[in-house]
Structure 1
Amino acid sequence: MDSKKRPADEDIELPPTKRHTVVVREPSIFGIKPIDDITKYIADFIAQHVTLENVEIEAKLGVFIDKRTNKRLQIGAHTETVLDDFRQYRFEANMPLEQHRHFNNILNETVNRTQARDYKGERVKYKHTIETDRFFESPTNHRNRYRVTTEQSTGKVVENGIIEKIRVADLNIHSPNQPLDFRISINLEQPREKPSTNLIFERNKDRISYQHGGIQFDLTQVKGSADRDPDVRHELELEFADSRALAAEKKKQDRKESSHYPSMIEVFVNNIRLLSRSALKK
């Protein structure tokens, strides 16, 4: 028997042929990475409306509630799924206060992290507003409303603060593996003159807005009038900060030019997914 002391494993040097080599692979045989199905579906959905004048493109986080059970929708899906039969469910964007605080903490941390002197990426912008929305009858369409937004501290109408919001389309995405689902909405925000019609209702908004990567993140506490809607609502929504820039990139894509449209949609969807996955689990 060999009596020589065997070296420890960590002292053994493997021959070059036995060493593990990490090879950076191309994303596919074609050299490209395909966009996933849901993101492509969202991109195609937004593309139908992005060139409209005064378009707003936003996503709200929440849950889809089955109208029959009054519980979160269960359809046997195992991955993200586009929902069609909206008659069977409703979307609930209101979240508990503790969930709202959780997102507030997460987003505040990103502000602090990106403000560091040695931070190399895009810094997160932050703004806190306290405003009042007043809704008036539309003189031309009884289904729509004129919205007048004022600063609570001064009573002054904010910039672009008088609009008629016109609903265009919704896309509902159920995420059974995550705490929250999401709805992407397309609306028109048409500038209007101060209305002389009847006031319908008003609500107060305490909002913290964050902006990064061309996306605005709004954490909003909404309180209606005491007699009409006394409950406080807590919402989180994401919106393209400049839909005109997105429309310009879509037009480039249509002309077969180099375009950032797919990547801009991916950033939007990535943010929605990461926020949903980071939500508190019940």
Structure 2
Amino acid sequence: MSHSQEMIFTLYGDYIRHRGGEAWTGSLIELLGLFGLSGQAVRSTLSRMSQKGWLESRKVGRYSFYSLTPKCLQLLEEGARRIFQPRRDPWDGRWHLLTYSIPESKRHLRRRLRRRLLWLGFGALNQATWISPRDLRAEVEQIVDALHLRPYVEFFTAEHRGFTSDEEIVARCWNLKRLNDYYTAFIARYEPPFQEHQARLMAGDSLDPQECFVQRFMLVHEYRSSPYVDPNQPLELLPDDWAGERAIQLFQQYHNLLAEKAEAFVDSVFAKAPQISSQ
């Protein structure tokens, strides 16, 4: 996925989704221009995303508008739930396993299933067996039915009786060290500006709306990559030095701290759009 497309997903997911899901091209160019994207790059990316079914274009005279398709809205809403509402329920000690035997003639669907399982937080126990400490049967059933793979997939719930520890299973199936390193770097990058902005507000200083938008956008844009690799493991299975909890707390606190000014800035940009009613 291109850098410009990722930026547009972030903008629609955190702002435009809450404003009716449609935006004038001029507004998108102005907002994304703050991050170095040219007008031509924005227009080209919007066109490609429309061709791929992520956005729907609408032209009124010389003005172009782009709105979320149901497919894109579903993706953004699922991502938002992973970011803002990660599961916190304790582990019941059981493992949930998915196995499949998919014919070679359907290998393209097998690849899509694997990608979706990774996104849900499953780990590969072996080539055709995937495992999770979370009961995700409802989500798996939805994916399997969407891919028309129900005859080839089985789902089990089991207890681990040997011969390794649960922690060793986690280490085998998920690369938590890499994820923990990511969270540690995220904290190191965003804790200082969060403390600075918080202190300025407590002292009665005003924050520039554009500055708040830029910082909040980049906060979300960087953090968006973590839910797609974070399996959202129960705390009982995480290492003692796990930085994910502080990273999540920092993200949500900083996101809320900048919200009012950032949202006001986006509103001011949207107010410049031509006043044309949607069809």
Whether TM-score is above 0.5 comes out as no
More helix, by proportion: 2
More strand, by proportion: 1
